């Protein structure tokens, strides 16, 4: 069976989160990074800033010279990690084979996913839609039969793009790729390739495996395969699942705690449905509720040792609402879970045991 690999990559992730939380930043050149008077460096910037030549890893002082109106915001890693976790939870709804590469990108192997009749294209579309709705940012995605091509595809139509490379189109697509698209081919290797007249994968394909190995050593074997669209690397989950949650943004703000409590049953039914599909290898250790108020401030409150009952969430919601006492635009509920097959998880489980259980 041909593999179906999706690569998802958030568009200007840190900057996108900041624009989501402060709509007044939309359409203005912004970046997230360190202060220019302290030798700060740009982590990421939006597309408006990129039009001036601003790029990641650029000194903040230089970025300001290129774009005097650039707004440089400090990092808020808590917000970015939360958004990353929300994205990952959406990925897990389609497959357990999720390989995070960073906070804002991941590979998914959806070969065994039955949703949308197994169509990687439709699965990728739905993932993009859900992230936009639930997280409030856009992601670009690529789908192909291997990791190499899926990652390249996700970068083709940024921002908010989706590029699919069907198996029958793989060879045609690969041959046109410049050698710079091959992971591991840096400036030095590109210069060496140029001297040999190698500029595209088509040029590489005209060389034998022996010739490529003579010029590029052990990397020659990899080049021989990639220029033919061959990438046998599997999607390897690097971490166990840590949480599961659902949330809803309301079309009209909820004005008081009574309205908030009335909104819980549908969310709870959705959460229990997802919990019922969870493998027995996971154990629930905490319940949590998330509230986003109408000023976009957010609070999350957790409790250890609950059974994820609606009464638990009602109490957590009351406590969380008291922290803001403002109209509510979003409510979420979820659980923290431990992987019992993970040695570290099994060790941590003891920390959550009630004294009477020991």
For residues 137 and 132, what is the distance between their CA atoms, to the nearest angstrom?
A: 5
**Dihedral angle over CA of 50, 52, 53, 57, nearest 10:** -60
- Catalytic annotation on 105? yes
Q: Is beta strand 282-293 parallel, antiparallel or unpaired with respect to 298-304?
A: antiparallel
Q: What is the 3-state secondary structure (H, E, C) of 288-353?
A: EEEEEECCCCEEEEEEECCCCCHHHHHHHHHHHHHHHCCCEEEEEEEEEEEECCCHHHHHHHHHHC
Q: Residue 339, annotated ligand binder?
A: no
For residues 290 and 346, what is the distance between their CA atoms, to the nearest angstrom?
A: 27
**Dihedral angle over CA of 117, 119, 124, 126, nearest 10:** -30
For residues 66 and 186, what is the distance between their CA atoms, to the nearest angstrom?
A: 26
H-helix segments, 180-218 = 187-195, 201-205, 209-216
Q: Closest by alpha carbon to 332, among 286, 272, 271?
A: 271
The catalytic position among 48, 89, 99, 105 is 105
For residues 214 and 321, what is the distance between their CA atoms, to the nearest angstrom?
A: 67
Rg, the chain, Cα only: 24
At a CB cut-off of 8 Å and minimum separation 6, what does 127 contact?
Answer: 6, 8, 90, 91, 94, 108, 139, 141
Asked if 337 and 284 touch (Cβ cutoff 8 Å), the reply is yes
For residues 319 and 22, what is the distance between their CA atoms, to the nearest angstrom?
A: 26
Q: What is the 3-state secondary structure (H, E, C) of 22-62?
A: CHHHCCCCEEEECCHHHCCEEEEECHHHHCCCCCCCCEHHH
**Dihedral angle over CA of 317, 318, 322, 328, nearest 10:** 50
Residue ranges of the binding site for Mg(2+):
9, 104
Residues noted as catalytic = 105
């Amino acid at each position: 069976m041909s593999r179906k690999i999706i690569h998802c990559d958030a568009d200007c992730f840190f900057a996108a989160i900041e624009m989501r939380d402060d709509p007044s930043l939309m359409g203005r050149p912004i970046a997230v990074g360190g202060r220019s008077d302290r030798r700060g460096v740009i982590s990421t910037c939006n597309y408006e800033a990129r039009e001036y030549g601003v790029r990641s890893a650029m000194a903040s002082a230089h970025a300001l010279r290129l774009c005097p109106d650039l707004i440089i915001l400090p990092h808020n890693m808590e917000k970015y990690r939360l958004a990353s976790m929300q994205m990952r939870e959406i990925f897990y709804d389609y497959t357990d084979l999720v390989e995070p590469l960073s906070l804002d990108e991941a590979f998914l192997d959806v070969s065994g996913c039955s949703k949308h009749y197994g169509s990687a294209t439709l699965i990728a579309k739905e993932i993009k839609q859900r992230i936009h709705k639930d997280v409030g940012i856009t992601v670009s995605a690529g789908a192909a039969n291997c990791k190499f091509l899926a990652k390249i595809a996700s970068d083709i139509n940024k921002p908010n793009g989706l590029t699919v490379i069907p198996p029958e189109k793989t060879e045609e697509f690969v041959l046109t790729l410049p050698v710079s698209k091959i992971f591991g081919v840096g400036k030095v290797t590109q210069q060496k390739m140029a001297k040999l007249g190698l500029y595209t994968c088509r040029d590489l394909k005209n060389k034998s495996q022996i010739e490529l190995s003579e010029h590029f050593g052990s990397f020659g074997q990899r080049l021989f395969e990639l220029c033919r669209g061959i990438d046998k690397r599997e999607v390897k989950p690097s971490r166990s699942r840590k949480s599961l949650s659902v949330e809803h943004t309301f079309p009209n703000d909820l004005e008081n705690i009574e309205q908030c409590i009335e909104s819980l049953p549908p969310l709870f039914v959705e959460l229990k449905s997802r919990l019922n599909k969870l493998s027995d290898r996971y154990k629930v250790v905490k319940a949590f509720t998330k509230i986003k108020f109408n000023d976009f401030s957010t609070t999350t409150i957790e409790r250890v040792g609950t059974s994820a009952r609606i009464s638990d969430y009602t109490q957590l919601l009351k406590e969380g609402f008291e922290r803001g006492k403002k109209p509510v635009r979003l409510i979420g509920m979820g659980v923290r879970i431990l992987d019992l097959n993970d040695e570290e998880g099994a060790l941590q489980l003891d920390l959550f045991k009630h004294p009477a259980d020991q």
